[in-house]
Amino acid sequence: MTGSRHTCTIDSPVGALEILATGETLTSVHFVGDVPATRGDLDDDAVLRTTVQQLTAYFAGELTEFDLPLDPQGTGFQKQVWSALTEIPYGETWSSGELARRIGIPTAFRAVGAANGQNPLPIIVPCHRVVGANGKLVGYGGGMERKQVLLELEAKVRIHRDFA
């Protein structure tokens, strides 16, 4: 991780999001509750501007897949899990067991769940799409209410697109 750090905070349907870019990559998104939005370094950083544009389009139901230069910081295993998260189709859910199978370590579902919980790029790397083996909602770093909002948004957009 090299280069200068730029941040901004935006409003969203799941509360304020603080976005951090370092150099030419997006490194983190944090839920920051009811903090008012600030432009921050938005005027000075193309990655931040593009991230805000794509998040805005996502929340408007106009974008189903992010295209951003990502550089999440974590272990090799965590990065492997986070990469697999990006393969979960928009509007669908997988269990930690399914993710473990997808990365070739089917017995590592607990470790996969733990890595999922450490995802520094929620929404963009869609950790909210992970559910329990029984299909029920399980923990989410941003809180269960946010997870529910994100899943409902995607389901609504997907149904609309399937019938359009």
Active-site positions?
127
130-131 and 94-95: which strand pairing? Answer: parallel
Adjacent-strand bridge partners of 21: 6, 26
- The answer to whether 125 and 115 are in contact (CB under 8 A) is no
Amino acid at 95: S
| Residue pointed to by tokens 């509007």 | 91
